[in-house]
Chains A and B, each alone.
Chain A
């Protein structure tokens, strides 16, 4: 642990003792009160000082710990811009950039907390907070009644996970290990993609029903069907979690162990850097901050679409998910380069499955509660794109090998999909 030593050198001597005691109190909680004597005011000020130091260390770790946090000022900047100018394009752009580091730090805080809570709750945490950013953005869009944005951003998240993230990972890993094909655990990949395929199938029926114009009450029964399907999918997701965490714990242990060991590479060499309560409070702070920025982001979408002359579909499907997925993207590429393709696949496909089995149905249910007409009818083009993509990628993962060419193909397919959304407008008016 080099950092406390550094701090020791840069602070005064009484800080040394405090730092020492605070270092040990990161591991254990019994507060050391060596000077618990008559001068309680001194003790109080010491406690205060210690808390401040711990806070500043924590801030150092969380905020200054990674280079990506250079982007952090963009967040407040976008808020300032929002109030000063009417330039929605810049507001949108800046808040987009501002959310990226927050999402990454959120993932970091979640990991840290997971290190304390053990496998089960850790898995649950990852499952819930893994896609927190997308969920938060979706909630805000729902509140504003921007149903299409919600649908398209979640769809785009799945597409980006399966094509862009996976493609970049395969490509980067293949370039680094260009001598031979990389291999991954075929069985797990097939099981996961089968699950994803079934989830997508569950999502598709309302859309297919609507587009064959064969509903009992045109428009209404399809919403009812979507709500019913969403409840069914949420039940499926709950049993998926139970299944993963209870019955087949052995299956998932190795990956989780590796994840606990390698994710962000911190836990391998070092014990968790944040205390449990620090992790929880950072989780709360980051979530709050992401919510605030998302609000500005969502408000600025329409204006940005006009200002930047981009179709809303493009913004929702391509740009928004990049933000939510940035952290996963980076970690997936890193794991691929370290030849740990199983984790990459777990991240990419697991995230897609989570979105399709949890976030999308959850949005429908939240929309139901908010009395918004959010449904699973993703319009024909999006639905077809989703189905084709999932099918093709599921097929491609079957042989258990990866090389840079496969990665390149996936990325290029993503470019084609992105281009088609660039030229895509909704047949009917938004919202």
Chain B
């Protein structure tokens, strides 16, 4: 299915959009040409490394020589490279070269597209070791149709989503490199937690409200305890001589924001549990929906605030993020073209969606097969999948003594989920007619509140060492253990579709 999809797209491209591709390529070149300095400054693009590239990037002519030595893969690369070189050399002279450019493109467009697709496939699929897990996805689908072993289906789809989530992050970064800090930030904000959102929407569709609540809650808990703890621990082990320092002010602001978001989420639960609603059960749902709309408004303002008012600090973080996120962009230009990034974004999202469908369907069966409470699966196992990529990158940044970025990743992700992910699910549930609310049940609510409070307090002094990381990880172990012996007083599925 995957390859047929690819073939379909290839044909489409071939038949209808080669001109567009060519035009856009030139557009991007022009844009990059004029903003070259800005982009190079922002993303610290210094020189090209030995990797393959599609050939449109912001090098100057002085780097042309180095390009030749690099394209050692396929002979078509050279042909691809040359028209681009031509384009670059004549940056700014739109009229004449537009025409000649298109002519050249038309002749080699098919080849170019083929090779670029092949190359982007190579870049996307084969550059990261984690993609070894990719076959687990189709395997899960196969097993689902062949056997009734839900445990295996669940496990394999879990494993299969991990590389896809990571590649999604990669594609988002790449796209962000093209769109500038503002839209890039927005992109990161939206697609950063795309995996969790997709899983939640599928669970909502299946009427598994508790799974949605618990998986989102578990995502926040895992970000604040596990990801942060591992990052602090690894960073502390690497830098054992002294405490690592991070920007106290930013951490305090972000955790204050998170605390307020969590407070907004708590009131419906508190209302429900003090048995003081006007219409028992119903007004709490209405309150949840109202609160969610308000939280979404707050989130919109948060984005505006971050992207406009505090552009500088965000750019600085973004630039480092663009430099280092995933480790692939270090001193490099984007590896895939803009449209490729968009297309890959769409493909990966689609594929994640398909796998999530099987994943969510298999949850109950897996819980029965492995004898684990559904709460444990939703709170602990599901978020590990969604957070795997952020986890790895946070640890890596901590080990490079860039704790600010780790913190930004961890707390930013938690804030996003609590201010955007959860309210968004409530609204989607409203639209789908499901009674998804903010009443997370007493134990989960208490855990969330306590965790956020304690971590916010602990981040206040601006230093970290391996012991703090160890404490956080151990606390996460305790939380995980308590969910292992936790059973919901209410049933998991409130409504069967």
Contact = CB atoms under 8 A, between A and B. Distances in A.
Contacts of B466: 243, 247
B217 to A, nearest CB: 14
A136 to B, nearest CB: 27
Contacts of B451: 201
A193 B472 CA distance: 15
Given A243-B465, A243-B467, A247-B465, A205 B487 contact: no
A202 B229 CA distance: 15
Given A195-B471, A212-B446, A391-B453, A205 B461 contact: no
A28 B447 CA distance: 58
A180 interface: no
Interface stretch (B15-23, B198-206, B475-483): B475-483
A85 B478 CA distance: 48
A209 B483 CA distance: 9
A205 B467 contact: no
A154 to B, nearest CB: 18
Contacts of A243: 465-467
Interface in A182-214: 187, 190-191, 193-195, 197-198, 201-202, 204-206, 208-209, 212-214
Contact of B486 (A209, A228, A229, A398): A209
Contact of A202 (B441, B446, B460, B475): B475
Contacts of A222: 485
B478 A197 contact: no
A191 B453 contact: no
A229 B485 contact: no
Contacts of A235: 474
B262 to A, nearest CB: 15
B454 A197 contact: yes
A197 B479 CA distance: 15
B265 interface: no
A212 B441 contact: yes
A221 interface: yes
B457 A205 contact: no
Contact of A216 (B461, B465, B486): B486
Contacts of B477: 232
B478 A212 contact: no
Contact residues on A (Cβ < 8 Å of other chain), bracket: 35 or more
A25 interface: no
A290 interface: no
A420 interface: no
Interface in B434-466: 441-443, 446-447, 450-451, 453-454, 457-458, 460-461, 465-466
A248 interface: yes
Given A209-B485, A215-B486, A228-B481, A201 B443 contact: no
A308 interface: no
A214 B486 contact: yes
Contact of A214 (B443, B472, B479, B481): B443
A12 B311 CA distance: 89
B460 A201 contact: no
B475 A215 contact: no
A236 B470 contact: yes
How would you classify the secondary structure of chain A's contact residues: helix, strand, loop or mixed?
helix
A200 to B, nearest CB: 8
A117 to B, nearest CB: 24
Interface in A60-110: none
Nearest to B477: A232
A224 interface: yes
Interface string A27-60: 0000000000000000000000000000000000
A247 B468 CA distance: 13
B475 A198 contact: yes
A346 to B, nearest CB: 17
Contacts of B478: 202, 205, 228-229, 232
B479 to A, nearest CB: 6
B465 A248 contact: yes
B474 A215 contact: no
Contacts, number: 99
Interface in A209-249: 209, 212-217, 221-222, 224-225, 228-229, 232-233, 235-236, 239-240, 243, 247-248
Given A201-B450, A243-B465, A236 B471 contact: yes
Contacts of A205: 447, 478-479, 482
A139 interface: no
Interface residues of B, number: 35
Contacts of A202: 474-475, 478
A315 interface: no
B373 interface: yes
Contact of B489 (A213, A221, A395): A213
Interface string A253-268: 0000000000000000
B465 A201 contact: no
Contacts of B488: 214
Contacts of B457: 193-194, 197, 394-395
Nearest to B372: A216
A215 B484 CA distance: 9
Contact of A240 (B461, B467, B485): B467
Nearest to B481: A228
Nearest to A201: B454
Nearest to B485: A221
Contacts of B468: 194
Query: Which of A221, A233, A387: most chain B CB closer than 10 A?
Result: A221
Given A225-B482, A236-B470, A208 B443 contact: yes
A201 B451 CA distance: 8
A115 B243 CA distance: 29
A221 B486 CA distance: 9
Contacts of A394: 457
A240 B442 CA distance: 32
A134 to B, nearest CB: 23
B446 A216 contact: no
Nearest to A197: B454
B130 interface: no
A248 B244 CA distance: 13
Contacts of B486: 209, 214-216
A373 to B, nearest CB: 16
A216 B373 CA distance: 8
Contacts of B240: 247
Contacts of A190: 460-461
A369 B487 CA distance: 28
Nearest to A242: B467
A214 B450 contact: no
B411 to A, nearest CB: 16
A205 B482 CA distance: 7
Given A197-B458, A198-B458, A239 B373 contact: no
A82 B395 CA distance: 62
A212 B485 contact: no
B482 A198 contact: no
A202 to B, nearest CB: 5
A214 B447 contact: no
Interface in A384-404: 387, 391, 394-395, 398
Most chain B CB inside 10 Å of its own CB: which residue of A216, A240, A395: A216
22 contacts: A187-B461, A190-B461, A197-B457, A197-B458, A198-B454, A198-B475, A201-B454, A205-B479, A208-B450, A214-B486, A214-B487, A216-B373, A221-B485, A224-B485, A225-B482, A225-B484, A228-B478, A228-B481, A232-B474, A232-B477, A232-B481, A247-B467
Given A215-B487, A398-B460, 12 more contacts: A201-B475, A202-B478, A205-B447, A205-B482, A212-B442, A212-B489, A217-B485, A232-B478, A236-B474, A239-B470, A247-B465, A248-B465
Among all A-B residue pairs, the 4 with the closest Cβ atoms: A221-B485, A212-B443, A212-B442, A243-B467
